[in-house]
Amino acid sequence: MYRCVATSEVGFIQQLAVGYVTHGHWFFVSGWIPEGKDPLLVDKKLIERYGIDISRWERARKKKAGSASVHYLRFERFFVLISTHGRHKFFDEEGKSIKDARRTPIRALGYAISFRGGHCHVRIDEAGYRRLKAVVEGAACHRRKEALESYIWELPFEPYAPVRRQVLNVWRAANRRRQEAGFEKLNVKCVRTKRKIVKPFSPAA
């Protein structure tokens, strides 16, 4: 049985970035299942339409023959259909709706996932990053050091390398404000450096 429903945001982003984009799945469409529609029925419809529920052996055989490999992934009501290069009904059906992660990031659950320079990049979406930076800078001189450090530590973004750089930029910006005001700087240890590794489709994820 094809597994496509991630049981956590962490698992969804991990599977999308590490399981698919890293391995050449760059062509995608994404969206939200409207209220009133049963997500399980949508899953079944899309998986059947694009012949996604096939064995690893069959997927490898089709790839060797020039067919694309297509996957479907969902968390709650947000979904992504994603494909490698090749021939496939997906390209005929979705047409101009298809985007390329090498040019347009996949914007999902507050992240922006792209493929650049031979690597998958997982960042905080630019608009969300700007909001976060503004919030932390604004609070830098109005909240206790421990409260700010706790806030940064508990940010709901897994520290993939680009995310770490963004959060470090936020930490530096807050410390500039605190230094100007004569307050003690925040400890860099409040920036998480190790991301969780989960089983995307496990109830325990």
- pLDDT tens-digit profile of 15-48? 999 999 999 999 999 999 999 999 999 999 999 9
Q: How confident is the model at residue 205 (pLDDT cuts 50, 70, 90)?
A: very low
pLDDT tops 50 at residue 49 = yes
pTM: 0.93
Mean pLDDT, the chain, as a whole number?
96
Alpha-carbon gap, residue 170 to 149, rounded angstroms = 11
pLDDT for the residue 173: 97
Own/partner contacts of 44-51, CB < 8 Å, gap of 24 or more, are 46/72, 46/79, 46/81, 47/2, 47/4, 47/72, 49/89, 49/93, 50/81, 50/88, 50/89, 50/90, 50/93, 51/89
